[in-house]
Amino acid sequence: MEQRSLNANQLKFIAIIAMTVDHMVSVLFPNYPTDWWIIGLHIIGRLAAPIFWFFIAEGYHYTHDVKKYAGRLFVFALISHFAYNFAFGIPFIPFQTSVFNQTSVIWSLAWGLVALSIHESKGLTQWQKTLLILGISVITFCADWSSIAVLAIVEIGANRENFKKQMFSMMLWVSMYALVYTIFINPVYGILQLFVALTIPLLKRYNGKRGSWKGMKWFFYLYYPLHLIICGIVRIMLYGNIGVMIGG
Look at residue 36 and tell me if it is in a domain.
yes
Residue 245: inside a domain, yes or no?
Answer: no
Whether 248 is in a domain gets the answer no
pLDDT in tens, 72-99: 999 999 999 999 999 999 999 999 999 9
138 in a structural domain: yes
Q: Is residue 14 domain-resident?
A: yes
Please check whether residue 118 lies inside any domain of the structure.
Answer: yes
Return the C-alpha torsion angle 22, 58, 151, 133, nearest 10: -130
Q: For 146-203, what is each residue's pLDDT tens digit?
A: 999 999 999 999 999 999 999 999 999 999 999 999 999 999 999 999 999 999 999 9
Query: What does pTM read for this prediction?
Result: 0.95
Tell whether 157 is covered by a domain: yes
Structural domain boundaries enclosing 129: 8-239
What total number of domains does the chain contain? 1
CA-angle at 82, arms to 67 and 219, nearest 5°: 60
CA distance 91 to 47: 27
Is 1 among the domain residues? no
Angstrom distance (rounded) from CA 12 to CA 220: 9
